[in-house]
Structure 1
Amino acid sequence: MSVETLPSTADGRPQALPNPMYDPAPGIVRPDRPGPVPDPEVFCGWAGETVAALDPTTEADPVGVLANLLSASSTIIGSGPFLWIGNDRHPALIWALTIGGTSVGRKGAATNTARRLLKAAVPDFIASNTRSGLSSGEGLIDMVRDGNGDKDPGVTDKRLWVIESEYGITMARGRREGSSLSGILRQAWNGEDLGVMNRDALHATAPHIAVIGHISPRELRAKMQDAEMAGGTYNRFLPVFVHRTLLDPGGRGAPDELIDNLASAWKTVLTDARRVGEVQLTPEAAQFWDDEVYFALCGNESDDGPLAEFTARAAPYAKRAAMVYALLDHTDRIGEDHLRAAWALVRYARASAAHVLGAMANGTGDPDLDKLAAAVKAAGDGGLTGDEVYRLFKRRNAAYRSDLTARLCELPGFAAVQVPGDGRHKTVYLFAPPG
C-alpha cells in the first residue's frame, strides 16, 4: 500500500495539510476532566492526528470523536481485512457505547464531528450505509438482506454503520419477550451470516455491521440487568465515558478547508484499506502482546460481576482496535505503536465501565493497578517495598512500574514513604483507609 498524492510523515502515513486556524494540538488529553482519563497513547497515528486537528473545533470529548472514527472507519473498510485470534477469524469491526451526561456528554457532537468528516470523504457510504432505529433482529437483517430472485434483489453492499442516539430504547427493545435483537447483534459482531427461522426466512450473507450507541450513565445503570450481560450482548461494545472538554459559545465548527484537507487523506486511506486481506502483528508487536498485554488481560480471569461481564472481550478488542489503527496508518502490519494504542483504549474502556457502573470500590478499571493496590493492602502496616513491587511486575519495565506506583499514590489512602534501610533509605508503599 502506498500514498502518492498526499503529503506524508517520515513513516509513510498520510498527513493533513496545514491549516492556519487550527493546528493539531500537541496534547489533547485534559487531566482535569471528570471520571477516567485516557492515556495519550490512544491518539495514535493518523486517527490521533485527525482527532487533534478537529479538537479545537468541537465541544465533543476527543476520545468520543476517536471512538466514532474508529467505529465508522471499521465499517467503511469492509470485510476484506481480518486477523486470526486462535482459530477465530475477526473482522475489522469496532462497536462503541459512548456514555455521558445528557447536557455535558456531547455524545451527539462526537458522532456528528466524525460523520461530517466522513461525509466529505465517502459521501455515498454515509448517505446509503448509515442507519438508526434498531428495533428487532429481523429489521437489522433486512437492512443487509440477501436477494430472493426477481422478487427482491436484496442488498449488494453489506456494510452498515448503525448510530443509536438513544441506546436505552434499544436495550429495552432487546429485553422484550421473543425478541431476536440481542442474538442477532451478537452474530453481527462476530461477522457471521445472519438469519432467523421464520416463515419469511430472512438471511444476510457476509454482513459487515458496526454499532455506535449513546447513553447516559444513569440510564445505563437503570436498564442493565445481569441476565442481559451474561448473554454477552453488551460486552460486544467498548464502553467509552465522554464529557464536554471545551466551551465554545460561538460554535463555529471546523472550517471547510480543514474538513476538505482531512477528507482527501481519509478517502485515500479508506479506499486502500479495503484492498487488504489478512492483517498480522510485527515481531515487535507480537513480543509486546506476549510480555505486556496478554498476561494483564488474563490477570482478572477469576473476577465476576457486572464489570467483568461488561469487559469480557477485552482481549479480542485489543487486537481488533490495533488492526483498525494499522489500516488507518496505511499498513497491513500491526506495529507496536498500534497495539499500545489499542491496549490503552481497552484500559480506558474498562475504567469507563468501572466509573459508570459504580464499581470503583472493587476496582480501578486497570488490572495491574488493582493488583498492586490489593498487594499493598495485604502487606498491612509494614507496607510493600519497592523490591516486592518489582517481583510482582518483573515482566514490566522500570518506566511502567514507576508510572504504576505513581498512579497508586493518587488513589485515596495510598502513599509512598521513605524509611531507613541498609545504608540508604528505601521506598515503602502504605495504605490507610481514608477517614
Structure 2
Amino acid sequence: MNLLSAAGAIIGRRPHLMIGNDRHPTLLWALTIGPTSSGRKGSATSTARRVLAEALPDFFGPEHTPRGLNSGEGLIEYVRDDDSEEASPASFDKRLWVVESEYAVTMSRGRREGSSLPGVLRQAWDGDSLGSMIRDSLKATDPHIAILGHITPEEFRAKMQDSEMAGGTYNRFLPIFCHRNLILPGSRGASPELVANLAAGWRTVLDDAARVEQVKFSPAAWELYCDQVYPALSDDSAGGVIAQFTARAAPYVQRVAMVYALCDHTDTISEAHMRAAWQLLNYARASAVHLLGDTTGDPKVNKLAEAVRAAGPDGLTADQIRRLFKNSTRAERDRLAAELLDLPGYARRQKATGGRPTTVLTYVG
C-alpha cells in the first residue's frame, strides 16, 4: 500500500479514469493501523521510500514529501499558487506524498470546531482545486496530494466519530491493518545493488506512466468489474459504521487497478490488475471489520457487544441481558440483540443445561 500510494503521487494528475462524469486521479490514501513497534508501520513506509527515493531522488525532498497536517490552510500552503520569482517548486509541481506518522494528532485537529482540515482533505482526494474561506488569496490549482497515515488500533477507535464517517472524510482512506508476523533479529534490509536495480526499473515505469492520459479497461477486466467486483463491493449488508467506512469501495477499486496497471507499464487495466485491486479492497474491508466490528454508533449495542465478548464461550443468556439493561422492555432488548447479530462475528446458539437448553448470544470471531 505504501508503494502504490507513493507511486500514484509520483505519477501525477495527468493519468486518470472517468467514473461516471467524475475524473479520478491516481491518488490512493491509506491509514496503516497497527500496534506501536510490532505493527511495523514505519518499516513498511521506509521500505517503499528506499526504492523510490533511489529511483527519483528529486521527489523525496521536503517540497514533495512534507510531514504534519496541521490545518487545511497549512496543506494548501504547500501547493499554493505563486507566480513570484521566489516561488517554491511545489507552486508549479503540485505533487505531494504526505506521510503522517502520528495520525491520531491529525484526527484531533480535524475535530476542533471550525477546523477546515476535513473539508480540504475531501477536496484533495477528489483532485479538486483547493481554496481557503479564511484567506481569499490562498489557492491551489490542480493539486495532486496523496496521504498515508499511521495510527494504532486503540487511537483509531478512540478518535473515530460517526459525524466524521457520515461526512466522508475517512471513507477516502483505505484502512490497512498491519502487524509483524515474523521475528527477524538479524534483518539488514536489501543490498544496495538490489535497490539500485529495482530503482532503475521503477524510474522508467513511473516516467512513462506520467505521460499517459485516460486509462482504459480491457474487455475482460470490465466484464469482471461489472459482473463480480461491483456487486460484491456495493454490498452494504454489514450496515452501520462498516458500511460508511467502505462506502467508496467500488470507485476505489478502479483507482487501485489503474495504479496497478500503470506500475505494470501499461495504460490498460487487465483482468489481473482488477483482481489484484479487488483483493486489496477486500483486505481493507476486512481491516475495517476487524477494527470497527464492535462499534455501531449505538452505545447500547456497543455495551451488549462488550458483554457478549466478555462472556466468552459460555455466551450471554436472556436473563443476563435483562440484568445488563435494567428497566428496559423486552422489545428494546430484542432490538439490541438483532442489531448485534447483524455485525460480523456474533451468533445465537443453543446451550445445554441440566434441563431445557437455553439460548445465548456468543462471539465467534
Q: Taking structure 1 as the reference length, what is the TM-score of the superposition?
A: 0.66
Residue of structure 2 in register with 1:100 after alignment? 34
Q: Displacement, 1:71?
A: 0.3
1:258 aligns with 194
Provide, for residues 144-172 of structure 1, a one-character-per-residue CA deviation record: whole Å limited to 9, x for no partner: 01015457567111000000000000000
Structure 1 unmatched ranges of 5 or more: 1-66, 362-410, 415-431
Aligned to 1:84: 18
Name the counterpart of 1:5: none
Identity %: 61
Distance 1:122 1:150, change over 3 A: closer
In structure 2, the partner of 1:298 is 234
Distance 1:179 1:360 in 2: 25
Q: CA deviation at 1:200?
A: 4.8
Name the SS of the counterpart of 1:126 in structure 2. coil
Equivalent of 1:170, from 103, 106, 113?
106
Task: Quote the residue 1:347 is aligned against.
Answer: 282
Write the distance in 2 (CA, Å) between the matches of 1:275 and 1:322: 18
Structure 1 counterpart of 2:245, one-letter code: F
Structure 1 413/235 Cα, relative in aligned 2: closer, same or farther at 3 Å? closer
1:121 equivalenced with 2:36 (yes/no): no
Separation (CA, whole Å) in 2 of partners of 1:298 and 1:111: 30
Aligned to 1:365: none
1:320 aligns with 2:255: yes
**1:304 partner amino acid:** G
Shift of 1:103: 2.5
Aligned to 1:213: 149
SS at match of 2:142: coil
Q: Quick one: distance in 2 between partners of 1:413 and 1:194?
A: 47
2:288 counterpart of 1:330: no
Q: CA deviation at 1:222?
A: 0.5
* Letter of the structure 2 residue corresponding to residue 101 of structure 1: P
The answer on whether the counterparts of 1:354 and 1:360 sit within 8 Å (CA) in structure 2 is no
State the alpha-carbon separation in 1 of the partners of residues 230 and 248 from structure 2: 13
Question: Does the Cα contact within 8 Å between 1:93 and 1:189 map onto a contact in 2?
Answer: yes
Q: Distance in 1 between matches of 2:85 and 2:3?
A: 37
Residues 215-263 of structure 1: per-residue CA shift (max 9 Å, x gap): 0001100111111111111000000010112322123111111101111
For the structure 1 residues 250 and 202, does the alpha-carbon distance in structure 2 shift closer, same or farther, using more than 3 Å as the test?
same
Give the one of 96, 114, 135 matched to 1:160.
96
Q: Which amino acid aligns with 1:287?
A: E
Task: Name the counterpart of 2:74.
Answer: 139
* Matched AA of 1:203: K
AA matched with 1:318: V
Q: Which runs of 5+ in 2 are unaligned?
A: 297-344, 349-360
Q: In structure 2, how many angstroms separate the alpha carbons of the residues matched to 1:286 and 1:176?
A: 43
CA distance in 1, matches of 2:31, 2:234: 24
Looking at structure 1, the residues matched to 53 and 21 of structure 2 have their Cα atoms a distance apart, in angstroms, of 36
Aligned residues: 302
CA distance in 1, matches of 2:85, 2:347: 70
Distance of 2:132 and 2:181 partners within structure 1: 44
1:179 equivalent in structure 2: 115
Picking from 242, 259, 283, the partner of 1:307 is 242
What code does the residue aligned with 1:97 have? L
Match of 1:33 in 2: none
Q: Distance in 2 between matches of 1:287 and 1:159?
A: 33
